[in-house]
Amino acid sequence: MAYNTEKNMMDGKHEEFASSEEHIEVAGRRNSTADEVTELSAIEATAASKAAWLISVTVSLGGFLFGYDTGYISSVLVTIGTSLGRTLSTGDQEMVTSLTSGKSQSWILLGKWHPANMAKMPIWAACAVFVIGTVLQTAAYSIEQFAVGRFIVGLGVGSAAMIVPLYIGELAPAKYRGRMIAFNNMSVTFGQLVASAIGAGLAHVKGEGWRGTVAIGAFPAIALAIMLLWCPESPRQLVAHGRIDSAEEVLLRIYPTSTPAQRHAKVRSIELSLQEATSSLVQEGLWVSFKRIFNTPSTGRAVFVACITMAISQLGGFNTLMYYSATLFAIVGFTNATAVAITVSGTNFVFSLVNLVLVDKFGRRRLLCVTVLGMSICMMIAAVAFHYIPIDTHTLTVESGSVGWPGILVLVTIILYVAFYSSGVATIAWIGTELIPLEVRALGTMLNTVTCWSTNIIISSTFLSMMKGMTPSGAFGFYCGICFFGWLFVIMCYPDVKGMPLETVREVFKHGFGLRYSRQWQKENKHAAKVVHQSFGH
């Protein structure tokens, strides 16, 4: 009996030693926490459901609101006349255009940025605020009331612009994350196109057709608020609140062919990431966590790359075309400038579809390398063409009776510029939040969104003044330089993380800017990074 007991003890020790050896061998194969997370994310290899896409389509109405707001102001500026009590001056136009951007940023800065606070509620709040602001603008008979309406709409736009991409990014399967966030950007461009078309259609309506253009913007906000009732919280949100069963139900809804073990493993991978994020925020406090973004080199690099990419997307000049396209084409000499401006919105929408197809196939870095350089070249050509257009810089009116070849060249290069922009940095700037580690993703996303609206303010509030002070050639030459700098930045600093689980992306910037590391990961994980055809049969 004693012999058997001793033998069992020896066998147990042998098994324990063998188990330890096996554990060490497995651990030796893991180079980082990212490898463990990748193993726990096997669910990503299963087919995503229709529900995942339908949820993304639904919440992307938030992007439509953003696009409609930036789209209708272009036509309103050239058709509003004296409806607000006086003819709008250059300063008035820049003020009402930039107000939305400024107040969007204010709303972002007032938010709470603990990851557990990021839920559907801010999207509902954004819808309500957007409707209120739209009503105020529609009923405005003074510049002051119209400005207040723009102010309030900015609160809604700012909230939706940050929350919606973050929500989609947390809900989307890794291999479709780029496409699903790109769909939100496509909704932005579709909103701009619809606003331009409605604005052009109502421009010649007797009376004050611009009010109808503004008022229509309330309907998608109401539709989004209603349809959001059928959208779930993201699994990360549910895990953060301790609702594990609900998180697994959502995962089953997104990955209908997954096994219980795969869903449990995915929840575990989320828990591993949230533990560090939550503990750091609780122990350090918000301000210390904010400083940690800059004190931790890898985290600082991730946030830096995301924010600079966003700055390039705004400072490169695109929003001057969205906000002032009708005004710009009127300056060049087109008689029906509002209708011509639809070409900008239409091109923007069509090539956002191109991005939707390419962003997960070729990756973010390749698209940026090609398209940002194309933007720079187009702006350079436009700057040269403007040199041959006789424009009175005091009144910004063309001094000849015909458009001529320079005007046509400006139109063509602007369309090409928009094509490059929409198929590249327009969407990838928002996808860039995937680069930010989870423990600071909420704070990093805030900085990224603040960068968007800050640079947007600079563009929207200075364009007409730059056209007068620097001449149109000088203004577009400035945008050319920004785009060229952006191209150099992408070449040197932007890694490609297509197909990586969010919990794995955190490892990239521990290796400098992660260009070599990300390329190596793509080679070693082709099965995870490769985009397969979507199966809608589940």
CATH number, domain with residue 419: 1.20.1250.20
* Residue pLDDT, tens place only, 108-156: 444 444 444 445 788 888 899 899 999 999 999 998 999 899 888 888 8
- Comparing C-alpha atoms, which of 345, 310, 322, 288 is closest to residue 436? 310
Highest mean pLDDT among 26-40, 92-106, 165-179: 165-179
Is residue 176 in some structural domain? yes
Task: Give 425's pLDDT tier (boundaries 50, 70, 90).
Answer: very high
Is residue 14 in some structural domain? no
Contact (Cβ atoms closer than 8 angstroms) between residue 174 and residue 499: yes
Domain assignment of residue 226, given as a range: 39-236+285-529
Mean pLDDT of 160-184: 80
Is pLDDT above 50 for 433? Answer: yes
| Tally of structural domains, the chain | 1
Is pLDDT above 50 for 18? Answer: no
The more confidently predicted of residues 353 and 9 is: 353
Mean pLDDT of 493-506: 80
* Residue pLDDT, tens place only, 205-238: 776 888 998 999 899 999 999 999 888 888 888 8
In the chain, % of residues over pLDDT 90: 18
> Long-range contacts made by residues 507-510, C-beta under 8 angstroms, separation at least 24?
507/32, 507/33, 507/34, 508/302, 508/435, 509/297, 509/298, 509/299, 509/301, 509/302, 509/305, 509/435, 510/32, 510/298
Task: Give 299's pLDDT tier (boundaries 50, 70, 90).
Answer: confident
Contact (Cβ atoms closer than 8 angstroms) between residue 326 and residue 471: no
Task: Give 401's pLDDT tier (boundaries 50, 70, 90).
Answer: low
* Residue pLDDT, tens place only, 232-265: 888 888 888 888 999 899 999 888 888 888 888 8
Mean pLDDT for the chain? 78
Angle (nearest 5°) at CA 535 between 531 and 538: 140
Q: CB atoms < 10 A from the CB of 483, how many? A: 28
Contact (Cβ atoms closer than 8 angstroms) between residue 173 and residue 44: yes
Is residue 259 in some structural domain? no
Is residue 32 in some structural domain? no
* Sign of torsion over alpha carbons 166, 171, 177, 179: negative
Distances (CA, A) of 453 to 313, 456, 492: 11, 5, 25
Is residue 270 in some structural domain? no
Map residue 523 onto helix, strand or coil: helix
Contact (Cβ atoms closer than 8 angstroms) between residue 290 and residue 299: no
Map residue 357 onto helix, strand or coil: helix
* Residue pLDDT, tens place only, 359-374: 878 888 999 999 999 9
Task: Give 278's pLDDT tier (boundaries 50, 70, 90).
Answer: low
d(CA 428, CA 434): 10
Contact (Cβ atoms closer than 8 angstroms) between residue 382 and residue 420: no
Is residue 413 in some structural domain? yes
Is residue 273 in some structural domain? no
Ranges 25-39, 138-152, 469-483: which has the least confidence: 25-39
Is the pTM here over 0.75, yes or no?
no
Is residue 261 in some structural domain? no
pLDDT at 384: 92
pLDDT at 375: 96
pLDDT at 233: 86
Map residue 226 onto helix, strand or coil: helix
